[in-house]
Structure 1
Amino acid sequence: MADSVQGSGSTGVPPGADAGEASRPRKSSWKYIGPGIVVAATGVGAGDLVATLIAGSKFGYTLMWAAVIGCVVKIALAEATGRWHLSTGRTLFEGWRSLGQWTTWYFAVYVVIWGFIYGATAMSSSALPVVALFPDGPSLKFWAIVCGLAGLVFVWFNRYAVFEKVMTVLVGIMFVVVVYVAIRVGPSVGKSFAGLAPVLPDGSLLYTLGLIGGVGGTITMAAYGYWVNAKGMTNSSWMKVMRLDNRVAYLTTGIFVIAMLIVGAELLHSANLALTKGDRGLIDLGKVLEDRFGTVTSKLFLVGFFATSFSSLIGVWHGVSLMFADFVERFRRDREGAPVELGTAAEVAEGKREKSKYFRWYLLWLTFPPMALLWLDQPFGLVVVYGVLGAFFMPFLALTLLWLLNSSRTPGEWRNGILSNVLLAASGLLFVVLCVQQIIEVFNK
């Protein structure tokens, strides 16, 4: 069948199909949805949910409109990433490489330092709800190591098709739990709709920018095109399918964000309760839920907390390892003078990147060196570099996509239109502002 997609090992072109058949546009279909769910689940971590809860606890429903705009921004960014991969047949790193060697050096430094710090963060975040569920069991460090090793083994021995199915299950758990809790606290429909009117209460600017730019916005957005290719979509005939997949994913993210805003507004704002910043804020919420609704609701929430954190862990373990493998392979071929055609998105679809030794090298880097940070305080200098590089990544992504998709590197039919340019330019400006804010916070610590 011309529409067959089997994940890794398939390019989406059936045996015996000619080029005309392969390039014929596919119809949008729900049965191909997957990469968007993966990128949304990976991008929305426990820290994002806490930030949303705190915004709801401070300003009630007032910033609901910012959550909606944030979804539109993410849809535009992910669509641009997927459109580059499908329209050119090249990976995003190949696009960055065409902009100059500065992109190679930036990505190399970023992916090494970011991975080292993030590995420890993801393992700890996944362990927190497990410790809360089993308070008489082993320590947080023990469960963090178990979560890291579980992610390593799962990604090492499975290819994209299985990975996507597990991520979909975790998203289902997240979705059911978050929506259930939001319904349980009794949302105010009238106030919810009133929150769609763009209003900025005093002291809300940074929270507003964070809601628009922060939730679901990480390096994993750049991995979206790689997951699209891994699904078996490798050319522009899949454009409609990719766009449906992307919209469904970020509408789902929007529901997560709105549900957590409702919880913050109804459960915390009205009672004037404060949460700890960072992932531990969800432990605080679990205790509030237990006091208000009982043990069952609290335990169910902690299960959803684990699904949120662990989906981010295995998503990064898979997606960023794909990017790293492509980065090293492209760098190696450049040095050897190999033709560009060897580094195509089709290789990702065929599973070559997942089988690469470089993919597994980065998996090991994400898992074992960061375990040292579970015992040691993070060195200040490393935290500063990590914070600065992390702050620069989303502006880097938005502005380089704007550059690539308005140049001759992209086929004319698939270059940016007015709407895409406005959204990418606006998101780039937004991320620059957030970048400056984050750098100031890093150096003020």
Structure 2
Amino acid sequence: MAQTESASKKATGISRFSLANVVKILGPGIIAVLSWLGAGDLITSSVAGSNYGYAMMWVLAVSLLLRFLIVNIIARFQLCNNQGMSILQGYAQLHPLFAYFMFGYALIMAHLTNAYMVKGAGEALSTLLHINHPLLCSVAVVLAVWMLVGRNFYTMIEGVMKLLLAIMTLAFLSLAIMATPDLGGILSGTIGFSIPADEGVHGALLVAVSVIGAVAGSFSNFVHPYVMKEKGWTGPEHKRIQRNDLLFAVIVGIIINLAIWVVGAEILRPNGIQVNTLDDLGTALELYFGKGGWLIFFVGVFATLFASISGKTTALPMLITDAFQYIRPGRRERYGKVLHNDPMHKWFMLFILVTPLIWSLPGMPNFVTLTIAVNALNIIGLPVISLGLLIMSNQKSLLGKYRNNWFENIALGFATALAVWIAFQLGADLLT
């Protein structure tokens, strides 16, 4: 009770804070980088902070470092290999089974990733409209995405969504600063390398795996080369700008994830609030910014999810179609190198957008639980992905001087070992 009163006084003391002044410093680069922030980061970081404080901060640090290294190696391979291979071609030339694995894994993970995002977007829209029909709202989101993606005016709508997301992010950053984070606790948790005892609904190991899956193991990291190609970055001359762009994105990702974690640890945890629903996370902004904070949160969450669904529905079918054409090479000869020309591309888009609606039906797991579970599943593919990447990024015949350095090789080996160890631990927990 005393803690709640203390938090209330703290909130009252900063009630005059205005977001308008902070919004003025927002730059276009920040808005572009916010596409890295997805619902997975938002939920896993807040759950980890609210349930376990800073005890597992090392998981976030390791995950962000691995994200940079893995995505940078993927991008460098595509830019610098001397045969103009895509990242998928790089895997396929190691063994044909990689194409089959990528096809099946991408199709399943695209379905599951959109599942929790469609469900969350429906819940957020239902809350904003004050109607108790989240399934109906999820259907509306799917229809809107299908009608808007690929249209000329979608870029404008996407820009608005990113601006709304930027405002929510600034609110979390402001809140994290005003919550006076425990720097000693953050440092201790970053170098602690421990898994605390389970608290709340979601076990510590599951939350840790979910953080790793949402950041380092996210299959969305494989979308980067396709987006990179769309930007016109196609050769070694673009390596530096690609690396700097990625580094900037990861640095901003560190700041954003840390801010969300701090909000969970410094505001939700002291008040005994565990993140089991979107309303629980919105409570933090409402405590400090009143009804306006609540509105900023739900509008921002809806914008995050809508933009993420649209982005993944646009990008992931390119990877799936690419893999499918390696399984069925005749299709590449028939439809050419432009993946959109293959009729299966549109069917893959439709599949990963519409089938996730089954997870929004009554009786299915709630949004937070589904988000944590799906992001944890990303860890299953990480050993195959990192081991394959380790082999092909050291091929002298393809990369020459652009091969991995010793640190990158150690990091990929560590990622492979970490994923195997986690899978073993999770299996042992299930058996007991």
* Both structures adopt the same fold (TM-score exceeding 0.5): yes
Pick aligned residue for 1:83 from 76, 99, 109: 76
Q: Do the aligned partners of residues 236 and 167 (structure 1) sit closer, same or farther apart at CA in structure 2, a change above 3 Å counting?
A: farther
Contact 1:119–1:370 (Cα < 8 Å) also in 2: yes
Residue of structure 2 in register with 1:96 after alignment:
91
1:63 aligns with 2:60: no
Residue of structure 1 in register with 2:316 after alignment:
320
Residue of structure 2 in register with 1:150 after alignment:
144
2:173 and 2:376 map into 1 onto residues whose CA distance is: 34
Letter in structure 1 aligned against 2:127: A
Give secondary structure in 2 for the equivalent of 1:187: coil
Q: How does 1:353-364 map to 2 (within 5 A)?
A: 353-364=339-350
1:35 and 1:91 map into 2 onto residues whose CA distance is: 28
2:153 and 2:426 map into 1 onto residues whose CA distance is: 36
Residue of structure 2 in register with 1:26 after alignment:
none
1:433 aligns with 2:397: no
1:284 and 1:318 map into 2 onto residues whose CA distance is: 31
Contact 2:395–2:403 (Cα < 8 Å) also in 1: yes
Pick aligned residue for 1:310 from 267, 281, 306: 306
Residue of structure 2 in register with 1:21 after alignment:
none
Residue of structure 1 in register with 2:135 after alignment:
141
1:418 aligns with 2:406: yes
- The answer to which of 318-327 and 74-83 deviates more is 318-327
Residue of structure 2 in register with 1:260 after alignment:
260
Give secondary structure in 2 for the equivalent of 1:72: helix
2:123 and 2:63 map into 1 onto residues whose CA distance is: 27
Aligned length: 392
Contact 1:120–1:371 (Cα < 8 Å) also in 2: yes
Structure with higher helix content: 2
Letter in structure 1 aligned against 2:98: T
Contact 2:162–2:304 (Cα < 8 Å) also in 1: no
Q: Do the aligned partners of residues 159 and 241 (structure 1) sit closer, same or farther apart at CA in structure 2, a change above 3 Å counting?
A: farther
2:351 and 2:263 map into 1 onto residues whose CA distance is: 37
Deviation per CA, 1:379-404, whole angstroms, max 9, x where unpaired?
9xxx9x98997442222221111111
Contact 1:171–1:308 (Cα < 8 Å) also in 2: yes
1:285 aligns with 2:278: no
Residue of structure 1 in register with 2:102 after alignment:
107
Give secondary structure in 1 for the equivalent of 2:215: coil
Output the TM-score relative to the length of structure 1.
0.76
Deviation per CA, 1:21-41, whole angstroms, max 9, x where unpaired?
xxxxxxxxxx99799937623
Residue of structure 2 in register with 1:130 after alignment:
125
- Displacement after TM superposition at 1:214 (Å): 3.6
Q: Which runs of 5+ in 2 are unaligned?
A: 1-26, 199-203
1:271 and 1:212 map into 2 onto residues whose CA distance is: 27
1:356 and 1:175 map into 2 onto residues whose CA distance is: 38
1:50 and 1:387 map into 2 onto residues whose CA distance is: 10
1:369 aligns with 2:362: no
Give secondary structure in 1 for the equivalent of 2:398: coil
2:156 and 2:344 map into 1 onto residues whose CA distance is: 21
Contact 2:77–2:87 (Cα < 8 Å) also in 1: yes
- Displacement after TM superposition at 1:410 (Å): 2.8
Residue of structure 2 in register with 1:28 after alignment:
none
Residue of structure 2 in register with 1:298 after alignment:
294
- Displacement after TM superposition at 1:166 (Å): 6.5
Give secondary structure in 2 for the equivalent of 1:271: coil
Deviation per CA, 1:294-327, whole angstroms, max 9, x where unpaired?
2111211222222332232122112211111222
Q: Do the aligned partners of residues 307 and 138 (structure 1) sit closer, same or farther apart at CA in structure 2, a change above 3 Å counting?
A: same
- Displacement after TM superposition at 1:242 (Å): 0.8
- Displacement after TM superposition at 1:118 (Å): 3.5
Q: How does 1:183-332 map to 2 (within 5 A)?
A: 183-189=177-183, 191-198=185-192, 200=194, 202-203=196-197, 206=205, 207-208=207-208, 210-215=210-215, 217-276=217-276, 280=277, 282-291=278-287, 293-332=289-328
- Displacement after TM superposition at 1:160 (Å): 10
Contact 2:181–2:262 (Cα < 8 Å) also in 1: yes
Coordinate RMSD, CA, aligned: 3.7
1:269 and 1:289 map into 2 onto residues whose CA distance is: 14
